[in-house]
Structure 1
Amino acid sequence: MAREHSGWSLRTALNFPDDIDVTVMYDGQLETNPEELKKLTMPLLGIFGEEDQGIPLTEVKRFEAILDSLGLNASINIYPNARHAL
């Protein structure tokens, strides 16, 4: 399992998809390049705060839409009124 720390879990999952069974991310930079995201072969859980100034809600929704369009096994949870690093 890759767990988040400043974007490392997503980056690790993208770089080593055969070695990761599941990825959980709750902060860090989002990847929005569909060609990169196609590498995800494992389930992904994203946990974000609606009021996060570091990762704007518009970017989270864009990330989620790209994951959905690729048919990836991803669940994005957005917590109302929550800020960065829940």
Structure 2
Amino acid sequence: MVSEKVQINNPSGLHLRPAGILCKEAMKYKSLITFEYAGGTANAKSVLSVLGACVKCGDEITIFCEGADETEALRNLVMVINKGLGE
């Protein structure tokens, strides 16, 4: 299992469009991908789970990847988040 903390910098947080982009990226990998935030844990491959996390701009999340392609998955998810998730 690998993990990394990352800050969400999108002005509106993880609303529908960036949540969809995050999920689409996460679904490319076989690994189990979740993230922890102030209120609990969310499945990064589920748009409803990501939206339910109510992550706002400036919030820090910790991404966890576990599986055969965990290192590649973590690296690319962090990169996509740092690039603003399409915004």
> What TM-score bracket applies, with the shorter chain setting the length?
0.3 to 0.5
TM-score, normalising length: structure 2: 0.34
Q: Which has the larger radius of gyration?
A: 1
Higher strand proportion (structure 1 or 2): 2
TM-score, normalising length: structure 1: 0.34
Higher helix proportion (structure 1 or 2): 2
